[in-house]
């Protein structure tokens, strides 16, 4: 099945839209196919500001509008407790909310950007999507991450080389309760490193410290560069550690 054929069968749908590589290309393909696909951005404490900015920018480029749905996911006690399968409870809550909102807007079908490179298995988040009846056109059409990036580049989408980004909750070890202050400090620390030119990075919380993970190619080459990293993150965490395994 091609995406053109998918949208011929499903000409009207809502899309859980993150502004990442996959959902951005899916929105582009839907527009190209002439489908009525309405993008919804779920704004929670787990999403950094730049993700919303990217989603709004991509939608403007495509001549469409994003419906922003705000939800304080930390009000869900199970999610805030951060069990090993937190993603299941989080995605279940978010897509239930999105389904109610999109159905009220007249959209009976709900889509997401899962692609053929994603391991479906029995991962908690994937299980939640199946239970909520969410369709994943990119996966159904066999499109891998590399193919989506290539097609996005050919289409002129600025998201084509955007690094994969997991939500801020993944920076906190399972079993450690999640609070708004920690999420804000993680977001600020990562933003400070991005402002220095680093990318595809993570600032993970490790017993109260910040553990910086960078791709090997971006490792600081001398003590001065390492000190610049530490100073960028120090306003938000103490101590600051560099993970020598890299990403």
pLDDT digits (tens, 9 = 90+) for 136-167: 999 999 999 999 999 999 999 999 999 988 99
Do residues 127 and 28 both lie within one domain? yes
Q: Encode pLDDT of 49-73 as tens digits.
A: 999 999 999 999 999 999 999 999 9
Do residues 130 and 198 both lie within one domain? no
Provide the pLDDT for residue 221: 83
Task: State how far the Cα of 60 lies from the Cα of 28, in Å rounded to an integer.
Answer: 11
- Report which DSSP code applies to 176: S
Coil, helix or strand at residue 30? helix
Last-in-domain residue among 128, 161, 194: 161
Do residues 136 and 191 both lie within one domain? no
The DSSP H or E segment spanning 36 is strand 36-43
**Structural domains in the chain (count):** 2
Query: How, if at all, do strands 12-16 and 36-43 pair?
Result: parallel
pLDDT over 90 for what percent of the chain? 86
Last-in-domain residue among 126, 161, 196: 161
pLDDT over 70 for what percent of the chain? 98
Look at residue 219 and tell me if it is in a domain. Answer: yes
The answer to whether 139 and 117 are in contact (CB under 8 A) is no
Task: State how far the Cα of 155 lies from the Cα of 77, in Å rounded to an integer.
Answer: 42
Do residues 101 and 200 both lie within one domain? no
Do residues 157 and 191 both lie within one domain? no
Q: Which domain holds residue 203?
A: 179-242
Average pLDDT over residues 216-235: 92
The answer to whether 80 and 57 are in contact (CB under 8 A) is no
Q: Encode pLDDT of 230-243 as tens digits.
A: 999 999 999 999 99
Could you tell me the pLDDT band of residue 125, with boundaries at 50, 70 and 90?
A: confident
Dump the DSSP string for 45-113.
TTS-HHHHHHHHHHHHHHT--PEEEE--GGGSHHHHH--TTHHHHHHHHHHHHHHHHHHHTT---EE--
Q: Within the chain, where are the H helices? A: 3-9, 21-32, 49-62, 77-81, 86-104, 124-131, 137-140, 145-155, 180-195, 223-233
Look at residue 127 and tell me if it is in a domain. Answer: yes
Average pLDDT over residues 33-38: 97
Residue 113 CB neighbours (<10 A): 22
Coil, helix or strand at residue 198? coil
Average pLDDT over all residues of the chain: 94
Look up the pTM and report it: 0.92
Instruction: Report the half-sphere exposure of 186 (CA within 13 A, side-chain side).
Output: 29
pLDDT at 121 over 70: no
Q: Please name the residue that has the structure tokens 């690094």.
A: 163
What are 104's two structure tokens? 């009220």
Query: How, if at all, do strands 67-70 and 12-16 pair?
Result: unpaired
- Report which DSSP code applies to 244: T
Look at residue 167 and tell me if it is in a domain. Answer: no
């Amino acid at each position: 099945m091609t995406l053109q054929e998918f949208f011929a069968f499903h000409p009207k749908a809502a899309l859980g839209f993150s502004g990442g590589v996959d959902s951005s290309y899916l929105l582009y393909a839907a527009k190209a196919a002439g489908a009525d696909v309405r993008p919804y951005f779920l704004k929670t404490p787990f999403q950094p500001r730049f993700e919303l900015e990217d989603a709004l920018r991509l939608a403007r480029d495509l001549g469409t509008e994003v419906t922003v749905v705000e939800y304080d996911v930390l009000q869900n006690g199970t999610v805030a407790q951060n069990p090993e399968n937190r993603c299941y409870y989080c995605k279940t809550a978010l897509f239930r909310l999105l389904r109610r909102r999109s159905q009220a807007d007249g959209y009976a079908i709900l889509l997401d950007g899962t692609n053929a490179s994603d391991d479906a298995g029995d991962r908690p988040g994937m299980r939640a999507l199946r239970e909520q009846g969410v369709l994943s056109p990119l996966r159904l059409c066999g499109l891998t991450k590399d193919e989506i990036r290539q097609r996005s580049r050919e289409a002129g989408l600025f998201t084509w080389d955007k690094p994969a980004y997991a939500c801020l909750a993944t920076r906190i070890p399972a079993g450690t309760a999640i609070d708004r202050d920690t999420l804000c400090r993680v977001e600020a620390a990562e933003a400070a490193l991005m402002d220095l030119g680093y990318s595809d990075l993570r600032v993970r919380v490790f017993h109260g410290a910040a553990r910086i993970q960078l791709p090997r190619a971006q490792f600081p080459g001398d003590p001065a560069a390492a000190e610049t990293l530490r100073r960028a993150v120090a306003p938000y965490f103490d101590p600051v550690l560099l993970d020598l395994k890299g990403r």
